[in-house]
Structure 1
Amino acid sequence: MKNIIYALALLFTLNIAAQEGPDHKGKKGKRGMQKEMLQDMTPQQIATLQTKKLTLALDLSDKQQRQTMALQTEVATERKAKMEAHKAKKEKGEKPTKAERYQMMNERLDAKIAYKKKMKEILTDEQYTKWEKMQAKKGKGKKKSRGKRKNKER
């Protein structure tokens, strides 16, 4: 009888420990809040913030700041327009076809390649190496959060 009670108590405590914490119930994570805040900003505001972050991280010169600001504004404007178009399609209930998804992914990768080339022109070799490490670290964080989301859905 004692063994059954111990087993039930053990199972009960393990079940409680496996539950999600109170910070995950109905609340958005850090990335969700950032995404929501960025949606309310203009492309110019987003570009300004990103340029300042890069200036702090890479110690950019005035010329580099101006060039980065122009590039960030261009990218933020394009991203905002694509987000609006995607949102409009989603509200209509339209889903992209396989060919459209392929085209979107291809365009996104082309844009990343062009962005990387422009950053290489703007930054010094040392700054560019540091920037690449920052980008790689940023990408790893996205992969981890994506993995957590997939596990929750199961």
Structure 2
Amino acid sequence: MKKLFIVALLVVGMTSFAQEKQGRMERTSMEKMTPEQRNQLQLKKMTLALDLNASQQKEMSKIIAEQSTTREARIAERKATKEATKKQLTSEERFAKRNQMLDDQIVMKERMKKILSQDQFKKWDEMKGKKHYRMNQRRAQHNGRKAANRVDKK
């Protein structure tokens, strides 16, 4: 009787894990959007979240387009260097890249301060922090480690 009960539990457990997940498309099966479409969607999300006016939308569309082109260039560069050589970056190269990234973030923050009102900027900064936190959570989960706790700024 015990063995029959254990076998029944195993069968039920295995069939529940064998169920196909629905409602979630595979990344490979989804068509990629064009950069213009991605830019438009990002602008509309920001417009809804920050309540941007027409002039702010115009400025933000320029910034989003610039970011998109630089991101695509960085991705292409990273792929080319990855395929060409399998070496690790030296500490000087890593420092230069991180320094450049931080400089870009400072410039972006200054540009956003000029475009957005104080309340909008505050909300944008908060949204950016939440997005960064979620990305760190995913990265930590992917690498099999525990992520750091989020500290709210006040």
TM over 0.5: yes
Gaps of 5+ in 1: none
Q: State the Cα distance separating 1:55 from its structure 2 match.
A: 0.5
The residue number in structure 2 matching 1:114 is 107
The residue number in structure 1 matching 2:47 is 55
SS of structure 2 residue aligned to 1:75: helix
Task: Looking at secondary structure, tell me which structure has more helix per residue.
Answer: 1
Does residue 134 of the first structure (1) align with residue 127 of the second (2)?
A: yes
Question: How high is the sequence identity, in percent, across the aligned residues?
Answer: 32
The residue number in structure 2 matching 1:45 is 37
- TM-score (norm. length: structure 1): 0.71
- Shift in alpha-carbon separation, 1:114–1:22, aligned structure 2, 3 A: farther
Q: For the residues of structure 2 that align with 1:33 and 1:105, how far apart are their CA atoms?
A: 34
SS of structure 2 residue aligned to 1:95: coil
Residue by residue, what CA displacement relative to the aligned partner does 1:82-133 show, whole Å, maximum 9, x if unpaired?
1111111112234342222221121111111111111111100111111111
**The one of 73, 86, 94 aligned to 1:81:** 73
- Shift in alpha-carbon separation, 1:73–1:61, aligned structure 2, 3 A: same
Q: For the residues of structure 1 that align with 2:52 and 2:78, how far apart are their CA atoms?
A: 34
The residue number in structure 2 matching 1:69 is 61
- Number of residue pairs matched? 142
Q: State the Cα distance separating 1:71 from its structure 2 match.
A: 0.8
- Shift in alpha-carbon separation, 1:28–1:140, aligned structure 2, 3 A: farther
Gaps of 5+ in 2: 146-154
RMSD of aligned C-alpha atoms?
3.5
- TM-score (norm. length: structure 2): 0.71
- Shift in alpha-carbon separation, 1:96–1:76, aligned structure 2, 3 A: farther
SS of structure 2 residue aligned to 1:91: helix
- Shift in alpha-carbon separation, 1:33–1:61, aligned structure 2, 3 A: farther
Does residue 105 of the first structure (1) align with residue 88 of the second (2)?
A: no
89-98 or 100-109, which moves further after superposition? 89-98
